[in-house]
């Protein structure tokens, strides 16, 4: 692919402009609600960057978004759309919980205690996405539709598994026992980078960066990545050129699903520690948006993941401190998406010129 790319400055300036414009609208809205924009912004920044805890929470969130985003741009290279991140997170969370609690892994040495549940989550996510790929290659089912439906099914599977004691619900000791799983053992939690719960960023965060490099190499430097790109440009020509289209389709969905499943493991073993209904709540769709806006680039995924990660964390603190609803952050986030989606045509033009 020898498409001329727009100057780096333009590629960076458009998202920056979109973000700033969305923020400006957000501040104007705060003004109309009668709260002080300065106070709200202060609380927002405090919630995003103010403490080690805030930064850690934002980074953990960003890591999850990045994993889902990678799982989007990989199939996208082959012209395939994976909107199933939410479901892959959900089945990953279920698998990680099951193995961490009942797989007998908590006594294992060498970090296997937390690696094995994460691997189980990756397998579950891969199979979940693989189902969509098989439907695509065997029955011609549009993968947008199948991955979307599989997401909703998986979300309710989480609900089911924490409602039923035969599945993952903690034993009922009283009527007040919450419908959630037991907390996973300490050994199965992803270790903290700082070793301190006041700044609970996990070793998973730098690992996600390493994975990002891997995704970049896979897309830009490997024969597999080249095959995906050919497939994305013209499936018929790719098939004539001897590329096994079905195998490539299934393979890329398995990888994407594994990344989504890993995101579920990260949320469970690095943040929430117990499976609850609504476990994935919107992470998958936020991550999907990160992937969509990244325009196929790993660096774009990481930048978007950090932006959305800090946005969400800051919004939560802003609501707690100043009473400005976190709905405002949703508005800002939605506007960023709409602005960026709207500028895609213009960016594409400058890109192919």
Partner 1 sequence: MTWDLFAVFLGSTIRLAAPLLFAAIGELISERAGVLNMSVEGMMLTGAFAAAVGAAMTGSPLLGVLAGLIAVLPVALLQAVLTNALKANQIVTGIGINILILGATTLGYRELFGNRSETQIPGFGLWTPPGLGQIPALGTQTFPQVWLVYLLIPLAFGVWFVLARTGLGVALRAAGDAPLAVAHSGVRVGALRYCAIVATGLFASLGGAFMSVGDIHTFTEGMTNGAGYLAISAVIFGNWRLGRTVLACLIFGAAKALQFQLPAMGIHAPSALLIMMPYLLALIAVAGLVGRQRAPAALARPFP
Angle of helix 298-322 versus helix 52-77 axis, rounded to 10: 140
CA 330 centroid distance within chain: 17
What is the DSSP secondary structure assignment for residue 276, as one 8-state letter? B
Residue in the structure block whose two tokens are 């790993």: 298
Burial of 137 (0-12, 13-18, 19+ CB in 10 A): middle
Choose one: 53-61, 96-104, 183-191, 324-332; the region binding partner 1 (CB under 8 A): 324-332
Angle of helix 37-45 versus helix 298-322 axis, rounded to 10: 120
Residues 83-112 that bind partner 1 (CB under 8 A): 83
Question: Binding partner 1 by CB under 8 A: which of 19, 58, 81, 181?
Answer: 81
Residue 280 within binding range of partner 1, rule CB under 8 A? no
User: Closer to partner 1 at the Cβ: 33 or 198?
Assistant: 33
Q: Which pair of tokens denotes residue 224? A: 């597999």
Question: Binding partner 1 by CB under 8 A: which of 133, 230, 301, 335?
Answer: 335
Q: CA-based angle 204:209:215, to the nearest 5?
A: 120
Residue 285 within binding range of partner 1, rule CB under 8 A? yes
User: Closer to partner 1 at the Cβ: 113 or 150?
Assistant: 150
Residue 334 within binding range of partner 1, rule CB under 8 A? yes
Indicate the length of the chain as a whole number.
Answer: 353
Question: Binding partner 1 by CB under 8 A: which of 5, 20, 38, 164?
Answer: 164
Residue 353 within binding range of partner 1, rule CB under 8 A? no
User: Closer to partner 1 at the Cβ: 144 or 182?
Assistant: 144
Residue 293 within binding range of partner 1, rule CB under 8 A? yes
Q: Could you tell me which of 54, 63, 93, 58 has the C-alpha nearest to residue 205?
A: 63
User: Closer to partner 1 at the Cβ: 302 or 329?
Assistant: 329
CB of 325 to partner 1, least distance (A): 6
User: Closer to partner 1 at the Cβ: 49 or 152?
Assistant: 152
H or E element, residue 86: helix 85-102
**Spatial distance between the Cα atoms of 61 and 305, rounded to a whole number of angstroms:** 8
**Spatial distance between the Cα atoms of 301 and 297, rounded to a whole number of angstroms:** 6
Residue 182 within binding range of partner 1, rule CB under 8 A? no
User: Closer to partner 1 at the Cβ: 157 or 245?
Assistant: 157
User: Closer to partner 1 at the Cβ: 88 or 333?
Assistant: 333
CB of 115 to partner 1, least distance (A): 30
Burial of 237 (0-12, 13-18, 19+ CB in 10 A): exposed
Q: Which pair of tokens denotes residue 156? A: 């309710």
User: Closer to partner 1 at the Cβ: 259 or 324?
Assistant: 324
Are the beta carbons of 162 and 275 closer than 8 angstroms? Answer: yes
Which residues, at least 6 apart from 39, have a Cβ–Cβ distance to it below 8 Å?
321, 322
Residue 28 within binding range of partner 1, rule CB under 8 A? no
Q: How many residues bind partner 1 (CB under 8 A)?
A: 46
Residue 238 within binding range of partner 1, rule CB under 8 A? no
Q: Give me the phi and psi of 177, to 5 degrees please.
A: -60, 125
Burial of 132 (0-12, 13-18, 19+ CB in 10 A): buried
Residue 23 within binding range of partner 1, rule CB under 8 A? no
Choose one: 47-55, 89-97, 118-126, 337-345; the region binding partner 1 (CB under 8 A): 337-345
From residue 122 to residue 161, the character string flagging contacts with partner 1 as x (rule: CB under 8 A) and all else as - is -------------x---xxxx-xxx-xxx-xx--xx-xx-
User: Closer to partner 1 at the Cβ: 57 or 328?
Assistant: 328
Largest CA distance in the chain: 67
CB of 236 to partner 1, least distance (A): 15
CB of 242 to partner 1, least distance (A): 27
Report the interface residues with partner 1, using CB under 8 A. Answer: 29, 33, 81, 83, 135, 139-142, 144-146, 148-150, 152-153, 156-157, 159-160, 163-164, 285, 288-289, 292-293, 325, 327-338, 341-345
């Amino acid at each position: 692919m020898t498409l001329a790319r727009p100057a780096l400055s333009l590629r960076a300036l458009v998202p920056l402009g979109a973000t700033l414009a969305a923020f400006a609208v957000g501040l104007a809205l705060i003004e109309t609600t009668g709260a002080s924009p300065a106070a709200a912004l202060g609380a927002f920044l405090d919630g995003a960057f103010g403490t080690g805890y805030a930064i850690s929470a934002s980074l953990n969130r960003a890591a999850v978004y990045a994993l889902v985003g990678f799982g989007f741009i990989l199939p996208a290279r082959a012209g395939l759309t994976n909107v199933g991140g939410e479901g892959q997170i959900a089945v990953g969370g279920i698998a990680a919980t099951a193995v961490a609690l009942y797989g007998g892994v908590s006594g294992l040495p060498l970090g296997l205690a937390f690696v094995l549940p994460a691997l189980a989550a990756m397998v579950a996510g891969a199979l979940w996405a693989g189902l969509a790929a098989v439907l695509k290659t065997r029955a011609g089912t549009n993968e947008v539709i199948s991955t979307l439906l599989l997401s909703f099914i998986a979300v309710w599977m989480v609900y089911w598994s924490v409602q039923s004691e035969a599945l993952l619900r903690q034993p009922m000791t009283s009527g007040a026992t919450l419908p959630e799983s037991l907390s996973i053992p300490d050994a199965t939690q992803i270790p903290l980078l700082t070793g301190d719960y006041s700044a609970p960023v996990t070793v998973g965060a730098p690992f996600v960066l390493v994975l990002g490099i891997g995704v970049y190499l896979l897309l830009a430097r490997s024969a597999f990545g080249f095959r995906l790109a050919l497939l994305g440009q013209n499936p018929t020509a790719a098939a004539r050129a001897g590329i096994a289209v079905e195998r490539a389709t299934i393979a890329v969905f398995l990888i994407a699903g594994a990344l989504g499943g890993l995101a579920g493991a990260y949320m469970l073993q690095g943040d929430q520690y117990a499976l609850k209904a609504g476990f994935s709540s919107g992470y998958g769709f936020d991550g999907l948006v990160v992937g969509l806006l990244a325009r196929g680039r790993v660096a774009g995924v990481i930048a978007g993941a950090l932006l959305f990660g800090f946005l969400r964390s800051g919004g939560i603190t802003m609501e707690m401190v100043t009473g400005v609803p976190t709905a405002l952050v949703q508005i800002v986030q939605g506007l960023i998406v709409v602005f960026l989606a709207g500028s895609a045509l213009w960016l594409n033009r400058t890109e192919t010129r």
